[in-house]
Chains A and B, each alone.
Chain A
Amino acid sequence: MKNYRLLEHTADIGFTTQAHSLKGLFKKTWLSIVDIAVEKQSPIDRQKHKYVITQKASNLEELLVNWLNELLSMSAALGLVFTDIRIKKLNHQFIDAEASGTDVCNYKINTEIKAATYHQLKVYKDGFFWHAQVILDV
């Protein structure tokens, strides 16, 4: 997957991505992070683990950061890589989704991502597409 564009940032890594729908955008921003962070290897542990993720925020940008950070934090705490995302409900202040993934031992980790930040964060609609710009602290 390379449906994102890396941005130059002196300290860290940034990227932009786009999708036809807001749900698609939230899913793609997360999968872009997965692509930056890990590389798939021959699977050792195929067992899938599924979690429900709900997040609230006062606006869309903060909701995106909260969503990404919840996934990052769960991945680190549980030792999982979430690659299947199903968003059940999404508006500008709330997201309800299911994330499934397998053990991190199935992957080679390329980059440790500490968090998604508010720095230069953008979420907007331009014509038919939703766009996001996210800077990650690595």
Chain B
Amino acid sequence: MFNGLHLEKIDAYRFCIPQDAKSGMRVPGLVYANEKLLKSICQDKALEQVVNVAFLPGIVKASLAMPDAHWGFGFPIGGVAATDIQAGGVVSPGGVGYDINCGVRLLKTNLQHDDLKDKLQDLVYRLFSDIPTGVGSEGEIKVGAKEEREILLKGAAWAVENGMGTEADLECTEENGVMAGADPGMVSKRALQRGKAQSGTLGSGNHFLEVQVIDQLYDREACDTLGLDLGQVTVMIHTGSRGLGYQICEDYARRMVESMAKYKINLPDRQLACAPVNSDEGQAYLGAMRCAANYAWANRQCLMHLTRQAFAKVFGLSWQKLGMLLIYDVAHNIAKLEKHQIDGKEKMLCVHRKGATRAFGPGHPEVPEQYRKIGQPVIIPGDMGRNSYLLVGTSGAMQETFGSTCHGAGRLQSRTAASRSIKPDMLLKELSSKGIIVKASGRNTLVEEAPAAYKDVNDVVEVVHNAGIGKRVCRMRPLGVIKG
């Protein structure tokens, strides 16, 4: 029994919450975890949320929780749910979250760890100075109303058209950096106002930019395909759609709370408010959500451009000569219409990934051709003191999790608990002793995001790898971190 729920252990990495655990569940719950992670997942109410998600109209197979799952709003963070659109399946803004298309991108360089030794501090300071960070940060990249609309429609391609990247970057971005069906007419004026001036900004909270070194290879063939090797320097960028996404989520969560009675939808938690995908409310939300997703891809593309420029200044070489190519960019807060096999039949589903990453397996047509043999790259950031991972998607994920896997380490401690127990100076000293330089806009962010506040990403990745819903390629460790 966990939190009053009876969990059935399927194997070492899967636990089932039977459909009869609570009256009204349409499908069972399925939690990917080992015994150790299950204990931390059970410390809060994440499992209760897995159960609540199983009430969503049209949900198929199971309400899923990844090993990094923890308590969120409506959905747990680390939750995956797919609804059958033809069977009245719903879309829920709470199944995406406030930071629409929060995601991660990974760049490689041709630098080795030794090349950084004398320059790491300069590099971290340069990145911190050139990349706008912190709460409400505004960027150098100023756009007018017309251009903002273009960003919502074109996504990362807008940045490339404006000299911030190349076509090759777009090929290595999920959805090629732009979701079709974005409808700026469905975005409120307030949302546009909140998003204005935030293009090319990192933001705060758990968002970061990290200079890393590859310290472990797991799959030599995949590393060769990706052009990665031991000791190679990489850069990871984690951010999302900033104020624009928050406002779109808020606008539509409110609208759907009001419209649920119209569709006779009763759910155990208002934060799961939803509407049928094929309803006016559902279509309007998806149109607006895709705008925010495109904004986030443009944002990460702009940030990568600033990162390349900062490296070029510090090393006195162009980013092309530094080999700063994008490995891949993934969204981990999103809802997408995707075809999947359900009971032997292909169905169009609305797949919600909230704190979960798409992990399409080898051969999938949406995986860039250069990676199709190995599967879609999946980027899993950890905390600032331990590791991050590069995985690839698997056929196991396609069969079990609608092509989804974990998204990070997952919080272990609340922000208030972390602030109480961690001293910023001690933390910086501890990170420095590991050779990690950190620059943060706020001391609050620093302690709230301390390694002790997170689960160990190594445990999380071990579960998805062993469960077959993601395959380890290589591991990175941080050298320099900038945070909001």
Interface residues of A (CB under 8 A from B): 6-13, 58, 62, 65-66, 69, 73-74, 76-79, 104, 109-112, 114-115, 117-119, 121, 135, 137-138
A interface footprint on B242-277 (CB within 8 Å = 1, 0 otherwise): 010011011001100110000000000111010000
Residues of B within 8 A of A117 (CB): 73, 271
* B87: interface (CB < 8 Å): no
CB within 8 Å for A110 and B444 given contacts A66-B254, A118-B270, A119-B271: yes
Query: Which partner residue on chain A sits nearest B76 by CB separation?
Result: A11
Query: Which partner residue on chain A sits nearest B250 by CB separation?
Result: A115
Contact between chains at B411 and A111 (CB < 8 Å):
no
* B61: interface (CB < 8 Å): no
In the complex, which residues 12-66 of chain B have their Cβ closer than 8 Å to any Cβ of chain A? Answer: 43-44, 46
Residues of A within 8 A of B417 (CB): 8
**Closest beta carbon of chain B to A48's beta carbon, Å:** 20
Query: Which partner residue on chain A sits nearest B416 by CB separation?
Result: A6
* B377: interface (CB < 8 Å): no
Residues of A within 8 A of B396 (CB): none
Contact between chains at B411 and A11 (CB < 8 Å):
yes
CB within 8 Å for A76 and B414 given contacts A10-B70, A62-B257, A118-B270: no
Contact between chains at A8 and B416 (CB < 8 Å):
yes
Query: Which partner residue on chain B sits nearest A115 by CB separation?
Result: B250
Contact between chains at B271 and A112 (CB < 8 Å):
no
Number of interface residues of B (CB under 8 A): 44
Contact between chains at B414 and A112 (CB < 8 Å):
no
CB within 8 Å for A73 and B247 given contacts A58-B258, A119-B73, A119-B74: yes
Contact between chains at B71 and A69 (CB < 8 Å):
no
Residues of B within 8 A of A110 (CB): 135, 442, 444
Contact between chains at A76 and B136 (CB < 8 Å):
yes
Residues of B within 8 A of A137 (CB): 73, 97-98, 246
A interface footprint on B305-338 (CB within 8 Å = 1, 0 otherwise): 0000000000000000000000000000000000
Residues of B within 8 A of A58 (CB): 258
Query: Which partner residue on chain B sits nearest A56 by CB separation?
Result: B258
8 A/B residue pairs, CB under 8 Å, sorted by A: A9-B71, A10-B71, A10-B411, A73-B190, A73-B247, A115-B98, A118-B273, A121-B270
Contact between chains at B73 and A77 (CB < 8 Å):
no
The answer for the CA separation of A137 and B413 in the assembled complex, in Å, is: 15
The answer for the CA separation of A76 and B188 in the assembled complex, in Å, is: 14
Query: Which partner residue on chain A sits nearest B40 by CB separation?
Result: A10
The answer for the CA separation of A112 and B445 in the assembled complex, in Å, is: 10
Contact between chains at B413 and A10 (CB < 8 Å):
yes
Contact between chains at A12 and B415 (CB < 8 Å):
yes
**Closest beta carbon of chain B to A77's beta carbon, Å:** 4
The answer for the CA separation of A82 and B416 in the assembled complex, in Å, is: 24
Residues of B within 8 A of A62 (CB): 257, 270
* B176: interface (CB < 8 Å): no
The answer for the CA separation of A104 and B135 in the assembled complex, in Å, is: 11
17 additional contacts (CB under 8 A) given A11-B70, A110-B444: A8-B416, A8-B417, A12-B415, A13-B416, A58-B258, A65-B254, A66-B254, A69-B250, A77-B193, A110-B135, A111-B444, A112-B204, A115-B98, A117-B271, A118-B74, A118-B270, A135-B73
Contact between chains at B72 and A11 (CB < 8 Å):
yes
* B99: interface (CB < 8 Å): yes
The answer for the CA separation of A8 and B257 in the assembled complex, in Å, is: 26
Residues of A within 8 A of B205 (CB): 112, 138
Contact between chains at A114 and B416 (CB < 8 Å):
no
The answer for the CA separation of A13 and B270 in the assembled complex, in Å, is: 18
Query: Which partner residue on chain B sits nearest A15 by CB separation?
Result: B416
**Closest beta carbon of chain B to A78's beta carbon, Å:** 8
